[in-house]
Amino acid sequence: MKGIIVQSFGSTYREAYKKSVGSVFEKVKADFPDYYVVESYSSEIVRKRIEARDGDHYYNIAEALKVMEDKGIKDIFVLSLYVIEGHEYNKVIKMAEDYNADGRLNIKFSKGLFSDDADIEKVGEFFSHLKDKSSAEALVFMGHGSFHDEDEKYGKLQAYLDQRGVKVFIGTVEGSIVLEDIMARLEKENIKSVEVYPLMLVAGDHVQNDMAGDEDDSWKSVLRKAGFDAGVSVKGLCEYDDFNDLFIGKLREIL
């Protein structure tokens, strides 16, 4: 038997998680019945909070690998549910390498969602289709962002959309492209109505509070205060089947 680990950041928002990353986990189990499949979270904070609150224990990557090894599974494929190959992605790989320092296991990791130009194009097309279905003049996407060099991938996605004249604008909470940058573009292009979407896999804390919350500093509130007609879509990207197919494709590449 071979094994698959569905690896993500994790989320304390359990219902949102079940509808998004949890649905990817269920799809992997259904599509690959000959593999032993488990979940793994990279956020220790998320794992500890869930265990303290709900009494449920979720594996980190080292624990998931041990479960596989205890079952005699040596060929292990990790589906990496990360937008960019930033700090979290690399932290997981390092932990797996430390666990498998002697190379006794054959571990393969899938790439992040924005791993190359072809990926950027696929995501750009997905966002373009969402724009076609919206009555708003433009869509605004809130990504997480990172201080890692991989943060530049958000800019590459924006460049792809700009080249094709798609009115979709990408910003981040902790990256180099912020909401003020987007608002400047909206004003320059005289765009009045927008719909704000998460560029995050799960509609967790950032989405519920930083994006769609009623606080003065949420993206929704800031945009509305500035005079924009701003709607919000509180739906994690992994709640879209077509989007999940992009990740499943990443898994198939390494199987």
- 108 three-class SS: strand
pLDDT (tens place) for every residue of the chain, 255 residues total: 999 999 999 999 999 999 999 999 999 999 999 999 999 999 999 999 999 999 999 999 999 999 999 999 999 999 999 999 999 999 999 999 999 999 999 999 999 999 999 999 999 999 999 999 999 999 999 999 988 999 999 999 999 999 999 999 999 999 999 999 999 999 999 999 999 999 999 999 999 999 999 999 999 999 999 999 999 999 999 999 999 999 999 999 999
Planar angle of CA 24, 157, 134, nearest 5 degrees: 70
Predicted TM-score of the model (pTM): 0.94
What dihedral do alpha carbons 238, 240, 243, 245 form, nearest 10°?
90
Contact between 236 and 19 under an 8 Å Cβ cutoff? The reply is yes
Please give the structure tokens belonging to residue 214.
């009623």
206 counts as catalytic: no
Could you give the count of Cα atoms lying within 13 Å of 132 in the half-sphere of its Cβ?
Answer: 6
Indicate which residue of 57, 87, 129, 144 is catalytic: 144
